[in-house]
A and B are shown apart, each in its own frame.
Chain A
Amino acid sequence: MITRSGPPTRAEVCAVACAEAWRGDGEILANPIGTIPMIGGRLAKATFEPDLVMTDGEATLVENIVPVGVPGAPKVVSGWNPYRAMFDVVWNGPRHVMMGATQIDVYGNQNIAFIGPAERPRVQLLGFRGAPGNTVNNTTSYWVPNHSPKVFVERVDAVCGIGYDRAAELGPVAARFHRLARVVTNLAVLDFDTPDHRMRLASVHPGVTVAGVVAATGFELVIPAGVATSRLPTGDELRLIREEIDPLGLAEQEVPS
């Protein structure tokens, strides 16, 4: 293990911003997808949201703080959660997932399936995966490690995860479990706390300007007066990240300093 010191890195700020997505969630399944979301989820559970239920990234529920990417790390197992059981959780409700997005628009419609026409995509991506089911059933957040106009687009090529405009079309009954909490990127935190649920700049990470975020976004963001700065990790959080949750420094690979 390399002992890391010095001021918090951008990657560590991102991990804390991801952790904050689960603040107040209590006893639900926190389901982070991606390295920095995983660090964030485990940080939230280790600090301010101890009741969160989390998996090891495979088919078991674990209660201890498992280091990210360390094979054979000891696990305190409290449950069995194969894929079929995961669908029970998704459709039953108590879950907050953080997914990636290849494209996302102003209302939070997300695409991870393909770019170009559906019949013959210019770029075949992963597929719809669980995004339609996640967004219509659970609270959903997104993680974007490369905030750019290619990701934040006017119009996504396929709506996999549904945004607030699609949810509004469904009506209040069908969409009653739909909620998008936040979008965390390498530059900023965004949310949908606006009257018509258009995406809003909630905070910029230290060292990032509002103009920098606007330039990296391919649609018009709601910019409130006096945008906050994303908070830094506390001393305890920094120690947890560096020594216990991410001893290999994998966050740095996802968002280099």
Chain B
Amino acid sequence: MPDKRCTLEDVAAELRDGMTIGIGGWGSRRKPMAMVRAILRSPVRDLTVVSYGGPDVGLLCRAGKVRRVVHAFVSLDSIPLEPHFRAARQSGEVEATQLDEGMMLLGLQAAAWRVPFLPSRVGLGSDLMRLGTGVRTIRSPYADGEEFVAVPALELDVALIHMNRGDIGGTGQYLGIDPYFDDLFCLAASRRFMSVERIVATENLLDEGPVQSLRINRLMIDGVVETPGGAHFTSCLPDYDRDEAFQREYAASARSDEAWDGFRSNYLDVDEAAYQRLCQEQRA
């Protein structure tokens, strides 16, 4: 079994300007935030971001890393609208491809299965078909002759996910209630990176959860980073819940350029170890 351990900087260095990256998790839940912070410290730009969006999207937009967001929503859950994403869209700074959230699942699944589209009724009659997203319909070749949306494959250059546990070979385990779509993001991508709360010995992978919790197998992963607190400030249950106080501080940083500059210099212009130390001190 190969040893795929790497650093956050190694992951950030994989990204090139203009790449399409997929980010796992959902809203403000189990987001690979340490990897997002590493991207913020890197020079990469003009990214297309595919995400069940949360603060990953907001941070990347605010920091000027994004050209286009492919999304069905961007939300902080306890704060329904993501303020940095809103500002980036309302200023015209960031383009958007809007999808239904089930369409995003089908697009990732199509890419994962290496087919150009999957048929669905989702989107029929809605303005998703009229927003210049290029989504087309297809007629069934069978007797029913029904017309369907041909949901296009969402092919990714890079996928980034965060799991509770993993091993050095790239097996990943979620211990929370929902696997979200992290496996599909990986299967849809050319290069796949996973951060985990803790790397454990392969023989200990079943200590904390059943075999079904090993949602990510090592065929899906190219690099593993151990990042305790790596989903902060989003939730990563059962290891930790969302840091609501921190999230409020993050949301408030959208109020003005000064507020953002303060937030950035405090939390983002420092490396991950310093970030985690700072957050720990604040909680104490």
Q: Decide whether A and B are members of one complex.
A: yes
Q: Does B92 sit within 8 A of A, measured CB to CB?
A: yes
Residues of chain A within 8 A of B177, CB atoms compared: 58-60, 80, 82
- Which of B71-79, B159-167, B225-233, B251-259 is the contact stretch? B71-79
Q: Size of chain A's interface in residues, with CB distance under 8 A?
A: 45
Least Cβ distance of B101 to chain A in Å?
A: 5
Q: Does A160 sit within 8 A of B, measured CB to CB?
A: yes
Residues of chain B within 8 A of A174, CB atoms compared: 121, 124-125, 146-147
Residues of chain B within 8 A of A122, CB atoms compared: 90
Instruction: Indicate if the CB atoms of A132 and B26 lie closer than 8 Å.
Output: no
Provide the bound-state CA to CA distance between A121 and B69, in Å.
Answer: 14
Interface size bucket, B side?
35 or more
Query: A73-108: contact bitstring with B at CB < 8 Å (1 yes, 0 no)?
Result: 000000010111001001100000000000000000
Instruction: Indicate if the CB atoms of B123 and A132 lie closer than 8 Å.
Output: yes
Provide the bound-state CA to CA distance between A58 and B102, in Å.
Answer: 17
Q: Does B127 sit within 8 A of A, measured CB to CB?
A: yes
Q: Does B85 sit within 8 A of A, measured CB to CB?
A: yes
Provide the bound-state CA to CA distance between A82 and B72, in Å.
Answer: 17
Least Cβ distance of B66 to chain A in Å?
A: 14
Q: A84-B179, A162-B126, A173-B146 are in contact. Are A128 and B90 (CB under 8 A)?
A: no
Residues of B at under 8 Å CB distance from A? 26, 53, 71-75, 80-81, 85-86, 89-92, 95-96, 98-103, 105, 120-128, 131-132, 144, 146-147, 177-181
Return the 8 tightest CB-CB contacts between A and B, nearest first: A127-B73, A133-B122, A132-B126, A166-B125, A162-B125, A120-B92, A82-B178, A124-B89
Q: What are 5 A-to-B residue pairs whose CB atoms are below 8 Å?
A: A127-B71, A128-B72, A132-B128, A136-B121, A174-B125
Residues of A at under 8 Å CB distance from B? 58-60, 80, 82-84, 87, 90-91, 113-114, 118-133, 135-137, 158-162, 166-167, 169-170, 173-175, 177-178
